Structure 1
Amino acid sequence: MRREELYWEIGQIDDALIEAAEHSGAKGRVRRSRFSKRWIALVACLIVYSSTATALLATEYTKNKAAEPYIRYLTAADMELAPPVKYEADKFLQALASGNDEHVYIAVNRLVESFNDPQARELALQKLQPFLTSDSAKIAESAAFATDILSKSYQSPYLYKMADGSILFALFNNYSDYGTQNVLWRIKDDVLEPYFSFAAPSMYIKEILPSPDRKLLAVVTSSNKSEFVQILDVEKGTISPELVESARIRHGAQRKLDTWTRSDHENYSYPSQLVWKDNDTLAFEGSLAYDDTAVIENVSVTYRFKDKVMEVQPVK
């Protein structure tokens, strides 16, 4: 077959066409090369944009997280959305002239809190004088107690002078048939402050008994159903477990008795005859209730404060 015929059979391609095709292919590759570089640049831009957007979103997220309120603990005062109530002596001074015995009694006791302000203390002492001879025994006794503290005489038997030089006491002494207000106050370095408040169901302080060396303080508290005992180390600021319930649980386990625990922490049990055996050991008799008060066990209890050791023995 001749060359011309072969070209015809395969599409009439001659050398000129092949050469033209070669030139055309080279240009196409150039265009494709240029086209690829443009795509690379575009992809790079998209990557930069994506990284920037991610960084901005992360920054905004961090700002939003930082703007969230941080609440560690909510007190009752916090939830009132109001400033805490501050002590105002004037309110209680005015109550002295109210003619209402209950208001007067409360005011007389609360005026003790004027202790840290010299001017307020002197004014309270003046205003309390007429109430020392009140016809109400409760008001007269409270006025005498408040005067003893505000004048810094410290002679009242309701004041407990401790080894570290502090003085502890409670206000509203024996205001109820069940006892005294359940808050201990302390004067130390000539500064008055609330020292310890007993939680429910310890609604009243019934008895306070310092250890012989005046380093520890045994406190009997009560509700109208149960009584409780705790020991405070005033100087170190430590406190024992509640001893009546501890004795009830220990004795109940030893005797395999039904030792229920109520949600209100009432146990219908009572201590009596508290006495310090030495500077560290407190002893008392206990009447312990079990099986929904169907069973009453009488026991003798000793507690060593330093070693945290309790012994409970049945009383026959």
Structure 2
Amino acid sequence: MKPLDWNLLRAFHATATLGSLSAAARRLALTQPTLSRQILALEADLDVALFERIGRKLFLTSTGSVLLEHTKLMGEAAEAVSLSAVGDVQALGGRVSISATDTYSAYVLPDILARIRLEAPQLTVMVLASNDLSDLHRREADIAIRHVAPDRDGLLGQRLPDTEAHFYASNEWVRQNGIPADGTALARSGLIGMDDIDQFAAYMSAIGVPMAASDFRLLSNSGIAVWQMVQNGLGIAAMLREVADRTPEVTRLPLDLPPIVVPVWLVTHRGLASSPRIRLVQKILSEELAHTIQPRSSAL
């Protein structure tokens, strides 16, 4: 087999890492048709398909994933040489996408993004606010903040300190309705539900709040929507402590119920773990999230 052209490998590496021809073309200062021809030429040289083209999106094939593993060291070496020549982490460029729940994206990430912008002003950060798990194998995100452990080969997870959720109501709601005495009273107090409602109702019952799915009168698949309902005095909801701490005019209800323990994971794909920009963003996320969710005194 003839030696592979580094320019073709570089084109593949940039496209696979950034997830689109347009982004890779901007990174390499090429036109998109030129980059596309280089990808096709590499596929022809190797006689394999490296990407699946679904609509306007590109997804790595299994062969493409293997090739990315082999090219990432070359790509990172080239990026490291570039950084060494500049001699300043602030010159670190490119794009990093972070997926997180909508509440984390709205309430917790902004402070962390401020630090990322300060330390690496040339980075572009894309926040994907979704309560569904992003598919890191398909490069839907580079780094995911999740509340479940990674469960697929090729994913790397960093376990952060667990956080907790408690029950909250607006100060005005408490003034009008008082504080429920126990879990049974809480179940009759207008608890706001989250999808999957059957699973949520089962969990509530398990911790001492006897509710069936049919008992909920307000529901949403959006944590932000639920939290806005709470702030508007429409009822009570469970919320992560670090979100509630950033929200004025809400009260944590002093209920004799076990805290809802929520794990926190930072997850990325093994193929991106050695990227300088991924390492920098993950380091900042790790430090800031650990500081944010460190256990605090249980005193109200």
Greater RCO structure (CA 8 Å; 6+ sep): 2
Q: Which protein has the bigger helix share?
A: 2
Asked which structure has the greater CA Rg, the reply is 1
